[in-house]
Structures are given as C-alpha cells and as structure tokens.
C-alpha cells in the first residue's frame, strides 16, 4: 500500500465499535483510549458546530494521556430539518425517530479532530441518507432486534439498518461514524 499506510500507532479517542472497525479495515495500527468527556453542547449549536466541538473536546481530553502520539477523535449526529436527533431513550423513542425519518432524507454529520505533530485540525463531513417509506410493522420489527439502542437516529447502516436506506449521497464511512479516507489523508499530511 505504500503511501496509504500510516506507520506510527495512533490513538482513537472513541469507544465506538463502528469507528474501531473502520480503522481496522483501513489497516491502521491504533489504540483505543476513551475520553469520558461531557457530551452536552448548547442547544443553539448547529449540527456542524456540535460535532466539531465534541470531537475537539474528546481529542484534548485524551492528549495528556498519550503525549506525543497522533490522536483521532470523532463525533457523529443525525439531523433532520436542522434538528439533532440523539440516541433514543427507549424503544418507543426509537420508533418515533424512525417514523420521523421514514420516506425522508436526513443528514449525518461527523466531526473529526486530529492532533499530530504539534498541530490540531478539526473538520466535518455531511452525508445525505434517504430512507424508504417504512411501515409501522417494519419499524417495530427493526427496533425489536435491538440494533437501534444506543445509536444516534436509532439505526446502524453497517448492520440490519442497511435495509432501511433507499439512497445515500456522500461518504458511506461517514454514516458509519468516521470519514476514513479524508481522515487518513489529512492525518498523513500532519505527520
């Protein structure tokens, strides 16, 4: 792979199994260090402002734990009509979110903060996702599988949730939780 490979071991400041999977598939050597930061942001923040603030907060919390190491931190939100949809509190909340997304296009925002070589870079990507029209039975069956628990927007595209999606415009890996190609290219330029 030559120039695609980042030779040094980096730190992923995230507990997300999806982000871990994406970096593993990209051949990255990394260690997971969870930041444990407060993830509240002002309600006035746009989705882009929210993900950029949160990923920077995560990276800066982990940096002192691994001095001198390159750090990747990310945060993703689902937004529709400019409103951020968080993780559902319960199965009924998940059903309500999926009904809201049914037959419509929503946006996935992922913010990434890179710390390397004494520099900091923060950026975000947006991917549009259109859902099929979903019946109440389809929604109930999907939520009943448990995949919507703990997931922003109540679904995971890398799992069974892929059958909910009619189309995407943008980077698929951004929907999963990390725009891998852009992240690696930017990180390589910093090292």
Q: How far apart are the first and last CA of the chain?
A: 17
Q: Which residue has the tokens 């691994």?
A: 66
Residue 77: both structure tokens together: 């939100």
The helix or strand, by DSSP H or E, that contains position 95, with its residue range, turns out to be: helix 91-101
Residues identified as active-site: 75
Strand partners for 113: 73, 122
**What is the distance between the alpha carbons of residues 80 and 126, in angstroms, rounded to a whole number?**
12
b/e for 48-67, b at 16 or more Cβ within 10 A? bebbbbbbbbbbbbbbeebe
**What is the distance between the alpha carbons of residues 185 and 177, in angstroms, rounded to a whole number?**
17
Contact 158, 177 (CB under 8 A): no
């Amino acid at each position: 792979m030559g120039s695609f490979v980042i030779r040094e071991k980096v730190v992923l400041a995230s507990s997300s199994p999806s982000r871990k999977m994406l970096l593993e598939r990209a051949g990255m050597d990394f260690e997971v260090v969870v930041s444990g930061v407060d993830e509240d942001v002002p309600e006035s923040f746009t989705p882009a402002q929210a993900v950029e603030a949160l990923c920077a907060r995560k990276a800066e919390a982990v940096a002192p734990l691994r001095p001198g190491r390159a750090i990747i931190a990310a945060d993703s939100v689902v937004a529709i009509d400019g409103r951020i949809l968080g993780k559902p509190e319960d199965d009924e909340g998940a059903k309500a979110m999926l009904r809201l997304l049914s037959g419509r296009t929503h946006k996935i925002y992922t913010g990434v903060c890179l710390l390397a070589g004494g520099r900091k870079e923060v950026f975000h990507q947006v991917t549009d996702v259109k859902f099929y029209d979903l019946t109440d039975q389809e929604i109930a069956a999907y939520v009943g599988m448990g995949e919507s628990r703990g997931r922003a927007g109540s679904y995971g595209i890398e799992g069974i949730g892929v059958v909910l999606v009619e189309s995407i415009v943008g980077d698929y890996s951004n929907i999963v939780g990390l725009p891998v190609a852009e992240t690696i290219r930017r990180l390589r330029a910093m090292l």
